[in-house]
Structures are given as C-alpha cells and as structure tokens.
C-alpha cells in the first residue's frame, strides 16, 4: 500500500500526448485539411484569369512585368494542391512546399511594406493572408508515418 500514492499520481499526470488521437479527431483534421487544400487550390487556380489578362496587356503595351511570373507559380501550386487533396498523407512534400512558399511570400511582402509606405496597407494585408495560409497548411499537414524513413546522403 505504500506505493499507491506514487502510482496514482503518475497515472493522473499522463499527458494528453501519450494517448493515441481519437479516430474522429483524425478524421476531422484530415477532412478539414482536404477541404482547405481544395479551397486554396481553387483560389490559386482562379489566378489564371488575371495571369492571362496581365500577360496579354503586357504584350500589347510592350512592357515587362513580374506579376505574370508570380501568378503562374501560384496557378501551378493551386493545381498541385488540388491533386494533393485526394491523398494528403502521400503528398506531404507538396503541402509543406506550399506552406513554406506562402510564408516566404508573406515575409517578402512584409519587408516590402516597410520600404514602400504608399503600398503599406495592401502589402501588409496580403502578407497576413499568405502567412495565415502557410501556417494553416503547416498546422494541418499530415504527420510522418511510422514506417517512413529519412534518406540522407552520406
């Protein structure tokens, strides 16, 4: 009987992380991720219209602009996010790339907001949107499966 208090204390202090995630929690997370992948994918693919119009107007005005290049990257990423929505755990790399790409884009836009006071409000709003998209993708990204190995170059 002398050890009952220690054992009860240890059992009471078992953290939430030690318990396996409930199946419905995993299903809700997976479903939420799939919905957001489709939503973000469609939003990014919808940039194809501004891409086409900006390229056409740039050709007609005979000017160079970086906007079509950026839009083409996001349209392509949107297609890959739509493909990843079918099987998120098999496309962890695509999801991670999209997340970090959005975070990097948000960081660049935030720095630009400091240097371009006339554009500050729009740049900060866009930086917040891209940052949130990146953070959400990272938070909901599927965990590495137990059987997966990391291959390292010698």
- Using alpha carbons, list the distances in angstroms from residue 122 to 14, 104, 133: 47, 17, 17
Predicted TM-score (pTM) of this structure: 0.70
| Cα gap 14→23, rounded to integer Å | 20
| Cα gap 34→40, rounded to integer Å | 10
Coil, strand or helix: which one is 153?
A: coil
Reported as a single tens digit per residue, the pLDDT across 108-131 is 999 999 999 998 999 999 999 999
Tokens of 106: 């948000």
| Cα gap 34→63, rounded to integer Å | 40
Q: In this model, does residue 133 exceed pLDDT 90?
A: yes
Percent of the chain with pLDDT over 70: 68
Reported as a single tens digit per residue, the pLDDT across 34-61 is 999 999 999 999 888 777 776 666 666 5
**Higher-scoring residue by pLDDT: 68, 130:** 130
Indicate the average pLDDT of the chain: 79
| Cα gap 130→123, rounded to integer Å | 10
Residue of 78, 80, 99 whose CA lies nearest to 91: 80
């Amino acid at each position: 009987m002398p050890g009952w208090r220690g054992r009860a204390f240890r059992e009471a202090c078992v953290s939430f992380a030690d318990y396996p995630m409930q199946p419905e929690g995993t299903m809700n997370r997976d479903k939420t991720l799939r919905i957001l992948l489709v939503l973000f994918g469609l939003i990014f693919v919808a940039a194809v219209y501004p891409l086409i119009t900006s390229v056409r107007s740039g050709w007609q005005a005979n000017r160079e602009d970086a906007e079509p290049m950026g839009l083409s990257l996001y349209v392509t990423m949107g297609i890959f996010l739509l493909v990843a929505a079918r099987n998120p755990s098999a496309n962890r790399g695509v999801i991670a790339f999209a997340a970090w790409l959005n975070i990097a884009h948000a960081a660049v836009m935030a720095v630009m907001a400091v240097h371009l006071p006339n554009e500050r409000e729009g740049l900060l709003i866009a930086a917040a949107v891209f940052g949130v998209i990146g953070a959400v993708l990272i938070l909901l990204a599927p965990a590495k499966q137990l059987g997966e190995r990391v291959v390292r170059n010698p």
